Structure 1
C-alpha cells in the first residue's frame, strides 16, 4: 500500500499521520478510514466493490456493510462532501464506491514517468543543472525531495524559513532545488498549506567584488506575481541601498504583494535560491564585514514570514559554515541537509525514467545481452563524480540515438564509457583546433582555475571574455563553449565564460597535467589575493604588506610569470611590499656601515691607547733608571 503523500482534489493526504490538509485546515482520520481512502485512491477512480474493500481493509473478520458505511460517511465529512452531490467520493448503488476527484501522487516517480509525454529536446541535461521547467524528467531524488519538503514546513513553523543543502561538487544540489523542491512548492496544491508564487536565484559564482548587495537586489527584482513585479518602481541601486538601510521596508513591500493572494487556501510565499554559498564564505573578493552584512540580511529575509530561502554549499567548505552563527542557528531543528551520492536504485531511476518519459529504448549488448541502461548503472555506481558524467554521457547517447529512438551500445563504447566520456570529449574538441589555438590552452586555464592557499582545494571561477588578449585564445574558449564544455554567460552585464563542470578538471588529462605543473603558482596566486584583500581592508597599512623573504619572493615570481595576470590592487601590494623591503634593506646597510665605522674607530683608539701606554711605560722606566743613577751618584759623593 502506498504511504507517500498525495493529493485528492485540493486536499493533501498524509498517510503517515492519518491526516488530510487543505491550506490551514487539518483533519485527522481513523486508521481504518485512511486504509479505505488509500485503497480507493490507488484504483485511480475505478469502481471498488464493497466486498473488495472489506476483504482488503478488514481481512479475516466477519462483518456486514455497516462499518464500511460509517467509514465512507466519516471520509465525506472530512472532505466536506455530500452523498447527494459528490465531489470526492461517489457511491455506485449496490455496486461500490469510487473517487471522482483528481488524484495526484507528486512523489510517485513511476507514475510520473509513465504519464509524461516529454516534448523537449533531450530529457538529459548534460553538464548543466536541471531547471524548474525540466521537472517532468527529473527523477531519482524522491526521498530527498520529501525530506526537504517536511523540513521546510518545520522551519516555517519555527519561524525561520531557511534550509542549507550540503553536498559534494556535482552531487546535484542545484538540480534538487530547481527541479524537485521548487516545483512541488509551486504546484497548485502546494505542500502543507504552503505555496510559492514566484522565485529567483542568486549564484555567488557570478558576483563580483563590491557588488554583493547590488546583485542580491537585481535578483529580487526578478520576483513577479501574475506578471506584475513584486518590487516595482525601484532600481537595483536604490533597492540595494534600501536593503542596507531599511530592509523592513523591502519586506513590507513583499508582504503587500502577497496579501492579494491570501484568499487562497494556501499561505503564499516568495522563494530565493542562493547557489554556491561556498564562494561567499571563502572568496578573497569579499571582506568579513561584507559577508556578515549579507548573511544578516539573508537571516532577516528568512524570518520575515514571506520568503523561503534555500542555499546550496559544497560540504568541503563546512568549516566556513560552522564559523558563521547565522548559518548554524537552525541546524538542531533540521535546517541542514546532507545530500549523499545516489544509491543504485536512485541511479536506475535517473537513467531509465527520463528515457521512459521521452519514449526512448535501450539497446542490448550483442554478446552478453546486458541492456545499456543496466551497464550505465553498473559503471556509474562506483564513480564518485557520477551525476555530471552520467548526464553528459546520456545526453551524448541521446544525440547519437538510432532513427527509432534507441540508445546504442556502440556509441557508449565509442565515448569511452562513463569515466572517459568528458575527458575524451574535451580532448576531441582540443585536437581539432589549430595549433595556434591549442597553444593558448594554458593561458585560458589560468583564468578559469583557482587553488586554495594551502594548495589542497581546486575550484573553478568565471573569467571575462575581455581578459583574453589574443584572437587564438578567444577562439579556443568559444570552441569549448560550442561543445558545452565551457558555458558563456553575463556577469554584472559583462560577457564571461566558465567551466561547465569541475569534473572536467579531474578527467581531462591535459587539465590535470597543467594543474600539477602549476600547482605552486596557483597556490601563490591565492595567497596573494588573500593578502591583498586584508591589506585593502586595513586601509593599506604597512603592517599588512607582504613579509620580506619567501612571501615577497613568491609574489615577485608570479609577476614574472606571463601566464598569470594580477589585478591592479595585487600589483600595488607587491610594489609597496617591495619598496618597504628596499627601505628596510637600506636601513640595514646604513646601520651595518655605522657599526663598521664604530668598530674601526674603537680599534684605532685601542691601538693608540696601547701605544701611548707603551711610551708611558718606557718613560717611567727611563725616569726610574735616571733616579737610580742620581741616587747612586749622590751616595758615592757622601
Structure 2
C-alpha cells in the first residue's frame, strides 16, 4: 500500500491544450482511428482529419499518428521527420520558417528562411522542390502537420474565392501541387473543423484531396470514454472510483466537442487529489465537488487566474477577453483571434500590460489562451482562446461578453444621434440618456480602433457627447443662479411684511392702552383729544401703508404664479419634443432592425444554397462512405439551422441515399420478389401499410419490422390503382381500373363487398372524417358519393378533366 507521504506524481492529463507526441502513452480511446488515419496517409500521402471543435483532432494526430509513424523509424527502411505548425495570418511564411528550422537538424541540408520563402512564393518551384533541397537521402520522409487548417479561412479576408494571387489560394496550391508529385518523400496531414468543409469546396484541387483522403473522426462511445478517464490514472499508479467515472460521463451528456472540457476537469481532479496529501486513496466524488464538477471547473479555475491579478490588470484582463470573443447576429458565441498590437489599439491598454495578463492565462497550469508558453510573445503574436467552451463555462467571460454587446449598442445609438444632430434633425442628449453615456465613456474608455469597427464617425460621436455634457452643465449653473435670486426676493418681501406686522401690533396695543386711560381720566383725555386724533391719523396712515404692502405682495405672488405656469408650459413643450425625438430614435432603430433582418435573410438564403449544394454533391461520392455521409449530414444541419424548407427534395434525397446505402433506423426496405406495386396506403396510426400488386393481390406490412414479411389479405384478378384506409382503420377501400370499388374489412367480423361505378378508372378515393361515406373520382372527371351503410352511390359532379387526388375538410363540408 502506498504511503501518505509518497511523492506527488506528474499529472497525466493535459487540460485544455492538445496532447503532445511525448504524451502518446497517456492517449487512450483512439487506437482504431489512429490506424485508419496512418493507413490513409501512407496510401494517399495526404489525409485530412475532420471533426467538430473539441472532438480531439489535434490530439489524435499529435499523440496517436505521430508516435505510430515514429515506431516505423525503428525498422530502418524509412525515417520520418515531423514539421508541425498552424497557418495563422501568413501560412506560407509560417511554413517557410518551419522548413528552415527543420533543415538545421542533423541529417538535413540547411536552407535559410529567406531562400525557403523565395522558393515557396516562386510558382516555378514550390513546396516539393524545397523539401528535396533539405533532404539528403530517399529514406527521409517529411511529414507536414498543418494543425487547425481552418485558420486560413478564419484569419483570411472574407473575399477569398480561390482566384490566382490570393494568399489563401496560393497556400492551397502549394499543398495540392506537392501531393500530386510522384515522389514519396513528402506526406501532409491536416486537422480541419467539419463546419469549414463548405469553405474548402471553393477550391477544386483541395476538394479533390479531401474526396480521396479525408477521415471523419467519430464521437467516443461511453465505453471508450471510461478508458479515456481510467487508463491514464492507472498508468500513473493511482485509482479512481467507478461511481465518479459514471458521474462525469453522465454530466458530460451527448453534446459534441466536450473532450477539452473533460481533460481540463481530469487535470483539476488530479491536482486536487495530489494536494490532499493522501495518495493511497482513490480519486472520488469529494474531489469532483471540490473542483466544481463539469459545469463549474473552468469558471473556478479561470477565476483563480483572474483573482491573482491586481485591480489594474483585472481591468486589462476584462478588456483583453472582450477583444478575442464575439457574438454573431444569430446569438452564437465564438472566438475572435487578434494580434496583441491590435488588442492594444482596441482597448487603450499598453502591450506590457497585455503581456502580463497573457502570461498568466497561457501558463501550463491554466492554458486558457494561445500561443503556448514556449512561444515568446511579441506585438505581432496572435491571442486566441484555447476552446469555445471557455466562453460557455466561465461566468466572468459571459458577463464581459454581455457588457461588450451593450457597449456596442450604446455607441451605435450615440453615433446615430450625433449624425441626426449634425443634419439638424436632432438635439443634444439630456438625462436620462446623457448620464448613462457619460458613465459608459468614463468606464469603457472607447478607442478609435474599437469604434471604427462599428461606425467610422467616432470623433463626431464623442464631440456630440462632450457638447451635450457641457450644455447640460451650463444649464444647471444657470438654474442654480436663478434659484438664488428668487430666494433673495422672497426674503425681502418677508422682511417688509414682518415690519408692517410689528407696526400694526404696536398701534393696536397703544390704542387699547389709551382707551383704558380715557375711561379713568376722561377730563385728561378731553384735553388731549387733539393729540389722540392726531395719533389716529398716524395709525390710519400706517394701516393704509400695510394695505398697500399686502397688495404689492399679492401682485408679486400673481406674477410668480404666471411665471410658474409659463415654465410648466415650456416643460410640456420640451416633453412633447422629447417624445418626437424618441419616435425618431425608434424609427431609426426600426430601420436598423429591418436592415439587419435583410442581411440575416440574405445570409440565410446563402447558407441554404450551400446546404443544397452539399447534399447534391454527396450523391457524387457513392464509394466514399465517410465523405458522402459528412456532406449529406452537413447539408441537413445547414438547412435545419438556417430554416430551410422542411422537406427540401435535395436535402432528403441525399439523406435517403445515405440511409439506403449504409443503413439507418429511419429507413427500411420491404421486398417481395420482382413484383410490380400498383397502389399503396397507410393506416392512420402508421403501424401497418398495404400494397396492391399487378396480379391482384393485396398485402399487409408492419411498418417498423421490414424483416417480418407480409400477410395476404385479398386475392383477385382486378387491377387495383388506388387505395385508402378509413379513419378508424376498419376498412380498406380499393379502386380498380374497371370502375369497381372493393371494400375489404381490416378488423371485426364484417365481410368484403364491391360497389360498381358508372365507368372509367378510379383515380382517387377519400373517406369522410366520420368514416360512413366514401368519395371517388375517375380519370374522366366524375365524382361520386357512396353511402357505406346501403352500399349505394350518387354522382355529385363531373369535372372538365380527370381528377388525380382528393381531400376533405375537417367538418366534411368541402371536398377539394
TM-score by length of 2: 0.44
- Which of 479, 484, 491 is the aligned partner of 2:367? 484
In the alignment, is residue 338 of structure 1 matched against residue 216 of structure 2? yes
Assess if the C-alpha contact under 8 Å between 1:437 and 1:476 holds in 2.
yes
Across the two proteins, how many residue pairs are aligned to each other? 403
Give me the whole-angstrom Cα distance separating, in 1, the residues matched to 2:101 and 2:379. 15
| Structure-2 residue corresponding to 1:443 | 319
- Which of 39, 50, 66 is the aligned partner of 1:166? 50
Give me the whole-angstrom Cα distance separating, in 2, the residues matched to 1:477 and 1:216. 25
| Structure-2 residue corresponding to 1:244 | 121
Give me the whole-angstrom Cα distance separating, in 2, the residues matched to 1:476 and 1:190. 44
Residues 304-313 or 478-487, more deviating: 478-487
Give me the whole-angstrom Cα distance separating, in 1, the residues matched to 2:252 and 2:172. 37
Give me the whole-angstrom Cα distance separating, in 1, the residues matched to 2:454 and 2:314. 33
Give me the whole-angstrom Cα distance separating, in 2, the residues matched to 1:441 and 1:298. 39
Computing the radius of gyration from Cα coordinates, the structure with the larger value is 2
Runs of 4+ in 1 over 6 A off after TM superposition: 520-525, 570-573
| Structure-2 residue corresponding to 1:382 | 254
Give me the whole-angstrom Cα distance separating, in 1, the residues matched to 2:95 and 2:128. 14
- What whole-Å deviation, never above 9, does each CA across 1:490-519 have from its counterpart, x for those lacking one? 477855543233211111122223334434
Give me the whole-angstrom Cα distance separating, in 2, the residues matched to 1:346 and 1:354. 13
Assess if the C-alpha contact under 8 Å between 2:47 and 2:210 holds in 1.
no
Give me the whole-angstrom Cα distance separating, in 2, the residues matched to 1:378 and 1:422. 18
Give me the whole-angstrom Cα distance separating, in 1, the residues matched to 2:260 and 2:16. 6
| Structure-2 residue corresponding to 1:398 | 270
Which structure has more relative contact order (CA 8 Å, sep 6+)? It is 1
Give me the whole-angstrom Cα distance separating, in 2, the residues matched to 1:520 and 1:382. 33
CA drift at 1:166 = 1.6
Give me the whole-angstrom Cα distance separating, in 2, the residues matched to 1:481 and 1:218. 23
CA drift at 1:346 = 1.7
Assess if the C-alpha contact under 8 Å between 1:282 and 1:320 holds in 2.
no
| Structure-1 residue corresponding to 2:428 | none
In the alignment, is residue 504 of structure 1 matched against residue 504 of structure 2? no
Give me the whole-angstrom Cα distance separating, in 2, the residues matched to 1:173 and 1:523. 37
| Structure-2 residue corresponding to 1:361 | 239
| Structure-1 residue corresponding to 2:197 | 318
CA drift at 1:381 = 4.2
SS of 1:200's equivalent? strand
Please show how residues 520-599 of structure 1 align to structure 2 within 5 Å.
562-563=445-446, 566=449, 574=456
| Structure-2 residue corresponding to 1:21 | none
RMSD of equivalent CA atoms: 3.9
SS of 1:360's equivalent? coil
Give me the whole-angstrom Cα distance separating, in 2, the residues matched to 1:423 and 1:272. 36
Consecutive unaligned residues of structure 2, counting only runs of 5 or more, are 1-7, 161-165, 412-436, 461-816
- What whole-Å deviation, never above 9, does each CA across 1:216-257 have from its counterpart, x for those lacking one? 1001123259x426351x321221111121564763453465
Q: Structure 1 residues 481 and 223, CA, compared in 2 at 3 Å: closer, same or farther?
A: closer
- Which of 271, 283, 306 is the aligned partner of 1:430? 306
Give me the whole-angstrom Cα distance separating, in 1, the residues matched to 2:311 and 2:130. 57
Please show how residues 10-29 of structure 1 align to structure 2 within 5 Å.
none
Give me the whole-angstrom Cα distance separating, in 2, the residues matched to 1:330 and 1:383. 30
Give me the whole-angstrom Cα distance separating, in 1, the residues matched to 2:106 and 2:225. 40
Give me the whole-angstrom Cα distance separating, in 2, the residues matched to 1:194 and 1:574. 62
CA drift at 1:374 = 3.4
Please show how residues 33-112 of structure 1 align to structure 2 within 5 Å.
none
Give me the whole-angstrom Cα distance separating, in 2, the residues matched to 1:316 and 1:429. 32
Assess if the C-alpha contact under 8 Å between 2:326 and 2:401 holds in 1.
no
Assess if the C-alpha contact under 8 Å between 1:448 and 1:463 holds in 2.
no
Give me the whole-angstrom Cα distance separating, in 1, the residues matched to 2:9 and 2:179. 35
